[in-house]
Structure 1
Amino acid sequence: MSAITVPRLAGAMGVLFAAVAVYLCFWPVPAEPVAWLAPKPPGYVGVHAPNTHLSGLRTIDIGNEFGPEHIAIGPDNKLYAAMTSGNLVRMDPDGTHQEIFANTRGRVLGFDFDKDGRMIAADAMRGLLIVGADRRVSVLTDQVSSDDPIRYANSVVVATDGTIFFTDASARFSPAEWGGTYEASVLDILEQAASGRVLAYDPATASTRVVAHGFSFANGIALSSDGRALFVSETGRYRIWKIASDVRDLDIQSGSSQATVLFDNLPGYPDNLMRGREGRIWAGLFRPRNPAADNLSQKPFMRKVLLRMPRALLPVGDPYSHVFAFDESGHVTEDLQDPIGAYPETTGATETADRLYIHSLHAPAIGWVPYARR
């Protein structure tokens, strides 16, 4: 290589590095990260000590479908699962007689059934939906008011009086506008603006109100047995809350006695919440925490730099399958893990008399284990 070529190459490399540095530091991104104090990750200790109770899952083949994010037994005793394709698949509990119950043309992340047996679905792309007996999909609500859209409907539970409680994971980032649920969740959690909220829809008046706000990615939701409290997963800050169901526009950060943290500093990101049998509520942790991510909690500039990098480089935890059950007082009663993470992104669990079905964000099958409380 000539003496002339070497300086030219060095100069070109210098220009390239400078361009990369300028991009990483100054390229516009939609999120404006804010500082927050992440607690030190506890690891897998105590009630969450490592075990292999979720290893060797049995599976139900779902053909070309993918990502059974939410699974529930319907009033017809059929098993329903929401897939990435937008399909809501119905089958017998053993996985036979599969059919497409409906397609929402979006992505359902949670659903429940009302007293008339109709499916109520939280669709991240479209809002709160209802699927009638004729299987037609209609929008119940996609806004709180004319200037307040529902951007990221996530999970839903129907109360005995007909009130529909559901989470709006982010009031900042809509999956329909930002390339899907994953990208929108990355933007919201790295920003930490805590714009998530719990909403309530009243079918009698067709009106929507804010129950509580201030969540860093509001996710799973479940009702207490008496209907007086809601349990809510706050994915972005590794917590599960218990809040009064009759509050209005409550800021959970205000220190109100009507909102308490039931689980804090969980070892992973909490997702779906599902009522089980004998008072149990099941939670899924879809990924373990990564200390590198927590170390950036008070470094908003560095999180902004991360948003300019390929998503494959984000500091996310290694695959690890994990679901646990707790009672309404916040005592863990069951904990099932697979440290290998063979069944990816465990978002929740649905309990029946003899099986525990495991939800997943990206699995190509429905996982389950024979279940009898130990």
Structure 2
Amino acid sequence: MPVSTVHAPKALVTPPPEPLVPVRYVDIGGRGPEDVVTDARGRVLTGVEDGRILRLDGLTDPGPRGPRVELLADTGGRPLGLEPLPDGTLLVCDAVRGLLNVDLTDGRVRVLADSVAGERLRFASNAVALPDGSVHFTVSSRRHPLEHWIGDLVEHTGTGRLLRLAPGAREPEVLLEGLQFANGLAASADGSFLVVAETGAHRLTRYRLTGPGAGRAEPFAADLPGLPDNLWRRGSGGPVWAALAGPRVPALDLLHHAAPAAVRRGAARAARRVPFRPTGMVGLLALDDTGTVLHHLTRRHSRFRMVTSVCETDGHLVLGSLWEHGVAVCAAPPPK
């Protein structure tokens, strides 16, 4: 049965912002590397607007050869969240085709799920594979497709979902619904809960998988200083990194809290007609499994905009973006 999230206030305490220090920009020959993750060898995987899955090697190499971009597959849709699997294949949340499995050796694409309860998956966003063979993944909106993402954020539809695909199952089950633009997803170090980013509510929500509270949702970190997008962590030892795709917008907060649904729908239609250009404010958060912020990295006048993902490799942070034509490599802060 679907479980609606219940959110109690939990203010986020952030340390003083640290500067996000850029090292280099790498053009990858494709627009919108929305999610960036690392494989077992520390190489970066990403998907771009035209459907290609790319592997980026040597992003931090100082030598003259420079980074290398390799084509691995083409989903035929729009890949967003990625999750490498132990067997060497790749889970892909495709905004057009649903939840996919991609063989990185020969590029074969297999659809794992493209509907739930007879409803086509419109906007699969991010996935996590658990040791029991199950896959949990988010759907950002049941009303707006990816190209109208800004309409969902303005309208505040609350139609995001968390789904579970059991091992061998052909259709997922709904675990949570009523989420405000469900986005990034990460598992706790001990596998007892998942963290879900709700972009439209500036918060991270915890969904408990085991223990007395299994099947319940609760706040993990609320009142974030920006719009949380993809989440990433390296194995079970590192922090959960959250990319902030943009700053808080006071007018939008007011619209969400004070305007009736009809007014929000009209504002969403207007927002879709206005050309969008992201601000130069970018940010990253690193949190431990108690929801404590370990790092808050910001850059106010960044030339690399709309950071939607982050991963760490070879002592550097690699940033992805729904907007840019490449990735940014930045200095990683000392671990805490």
Give the TM-score, by structure 2 length.
0.85
Take 2:152 and 2:74, find their aligned partners in 1: how far apart are those partners? 27
1:195 matches 2:159: yes
The CA deviation at 1:256 is: 9.3
Number of aligned residue pairs: give it.
316
Equivalent residue, structure 1, for 2:297: 336
Q: What letter is aligned with 2:253?
A: D
The CA deviation at 1:370 is: 3.2
Equivalent residue, structure 1, for 2:232: 274
Once the two structures are overlaid, the 10-residue window that deviates more, 357-366 or 305-314, is 305-314
User: SS in structure 1 opposite 2:172?
Assistant: strand
Take 1:134 and 1:119, find their aligned partners in 2: how far apart are those partners? 12
Contact 1:114–1:162 under 8 Å retained in 2: no
Alpha carbons of structure 1 residues 77 and 234: separation in structure 2 relative to 1, 3 Å: same
User: SS in structure 2 opposite 1:296?
Assistant: helix
Equivalent residue, structure 2, for 1:135: 107
The CA deviation at 1:61 is: 2.5
Take 1:220 and 1:296, find their aligned partners in 2: how far apart are those partners? 24
Q: What letter is aligned with 1:143?
A: S
Structure 1 unaligned blocks of 5 or more = 1-38, 176-180, 248-254
Q: Deviations over 1:52-88 (max 9, x none)?
A: x2243422221x3122111111235432111122111
Equivalent residue, structure 2, for 1:104: 75
User: SS in structure 1 opposite 2:252?
Assistant: helix
1:234 matches 2:201: no
Take 1:286 and 1:102, find their aligned partners in 2: how far apart are those partners? 26
Greater RCO (Cα-Cα under 8 Å, separation 6 or more)? 2
Contact 1:79–1:93 under 8 Å retained in 2: no
Structure 2 unaligned blocks of 5 or more = 1-8, 60-65
Q: Deviations over 1:315-350 (max 9, x none)?
A: 997331101100010100011110113210111210
Q: What letter is aligned with 1:47?
A: T
Q: Percent identity?
A: 33
Q: What letter is aligned with 2:90?
A: M
Equivalent residue, structure 2, for 1:7: none
Equivalent residue, structure 2, for 1:74: 39
Take 1:302 and 1:316, find their aligned partners in 2: how far apart are those partners? 23
Contact 1:69–1:83 under 8 Å retained in 2: yes
The CA deviation at 1:276 is: 3.5
Once the two structures are overlaid, the 10-residue window that deviates more, 262-271 or 273-282, is 273-282
Take 2:57 and 2:267, find their aligned partners in 1: how far apart are those partners? 44
User: SS in structure 1 opposite 2:152?
Assistant: helix
Contact 2:15–2:295 under 8 Å retained in 1: no
Give the TM-score, by structure 1 length.
0.77
The CA deviation at 1:208 is: 1.3
User: SS in structure 1 opposite 2:68?
Assistant: coil
Contact 1:120–1:130 under 8 Å retained in 2: yes
Please give the root-mean-square deviation of Cα atoms over the aligned residues, in Å. 2.7
- 1:212-251 equivalences under 5 Å are 212-245=176-209
Contact 1:356–1:369 under 8 Å retained in 2: yes
- Flag the structure with higher strand content: 2
Alpha carbons of structure 1 residues 290 and 372: separation in structure 2 relative to 1, 3 Å: closer
Equivalent residue, structure 2, for 1:347: 308
Contact 1:353–1:371 under 8 Å retained in 2: no
Contact 1:107–1:124 under 8 Å retained in 2: yes
- Flag the structure with higher helix content: 1
